[in-house]
Amino acid sequence: MKNTYLISIVVLLFAMFSTSFNVINAESAPGVSASNAVVLNMDTNEVIYEKKANESREIASITKIMTAIVAIEQNDLDEKVLISSNAAKKEGSSIYTKAGDIYSLEDLVYGLMLRSGNDAATAIAEHVAGSEKGFAFLMNEKASWIGMQNSSFQNPHGLDEEEHFSTAYDMALLTSYAMKNDEFKKIFGTKKYLSKNIDYYWFNKNKLLMSNDYCTGGKTGFTKSAGRTLVTTAEHEGKRIVVVTLNASNDWNDHRVLYDYAFKQIDEESEGFSEEMLNFPSFIESYFDVLNRMHGVKEWSI
């Protein structure tokens, strides 16, 4: 009989906490313009929101998050980099390097992340690994180590190429990992940067960094095939998240909406759990009292 009582207690406790958390997370998830999206709690790597988060697709220039962390981990940022003709002529967004220019690796990583320079990405790859394909090998090794199971990198810049793809979830994992590196974190959240090679500032293309109190960093991307891609990080009252959207026509608003939703979810889950734990002793006392009365028992013993 006592075993029966114990089993009933366990079942009831499980039901109580399950019901509690279901109520906490009952708020309907917001709609977003993105074809694929995810919000990850960077402190726990828990998924707070997802929309086809594990579907592989083109990712455009958010590729450069991987380029940056590989470069930072592999080499000294004070190293000097000779710009090749191949790098200087790379199509798409650029920091307007010229063949024969010499930049520090640090300058190039800032140009890569703030201005999305494809010339910077190519120069970094050639300096670190000898070629773009050699660098892609390092990118894929890092992806495998992090646990990015649905990603394949073929170049350091994100221009459309066969077998170059990732997922919203994998890119969130990558960003969460990269943000543990102090140098990457600083660059990711820099609003403007002045290279010694030029006499004007590079401003970050991530406008949420300039306009949203939560945002702590980010990387934009776009190609016709991939659409608009965006990765941002945000922090509120010590809680940190990363948001990834792929093929999003209204990505800035998507991220604002997901910031509010995610931080509310984290707060409510934390508050709900604390309240239930505070009420746990009184619940147990009430449960035993009712159970004892049902069975005519004056005192409970096990």
Question: Which residues are catalytic, by number?
Answer: 61, 64, 116
- The residues, any chain, with a CB within 8 Å of residue 53's CB and separated by 6 or more, are 36, 37, 38, 47, 167, 168, 169, 172, 244
The burial of 33, by beta-carbon neighbours within 10 Å (0-12 exposed, 13-18 middle, 19 or more buried), is given as middle
- The residues, any chain, with a CB within 8 Å of residue 52's CB and separated by 6 or more, are 35, 36, 37, 168
Query: Which tokens belong to 168?
Result: 């919203």
- The residues, any chain, with a CB within 8 Å of residue 99's CB and separated by 6 or more, are 83, 84, 85, 87, 88, 89
φ, ψ (nearest 5 deg) of residue 38: -155, 150
> Over the Cα atoms of the chain, what is R_g?
25
Query: Which tokens belong to 44?
Result: 């726990």
**Any binding-site annotation on 219?**
yes
Per-residue exposure over 48-70, b if at least 16 CB sit within 10 Å of its own CB, e if not: bbbbebeeebbbbbbbbbbbbbb
Question: Binding site: what residues are annotated?
Answer: 219
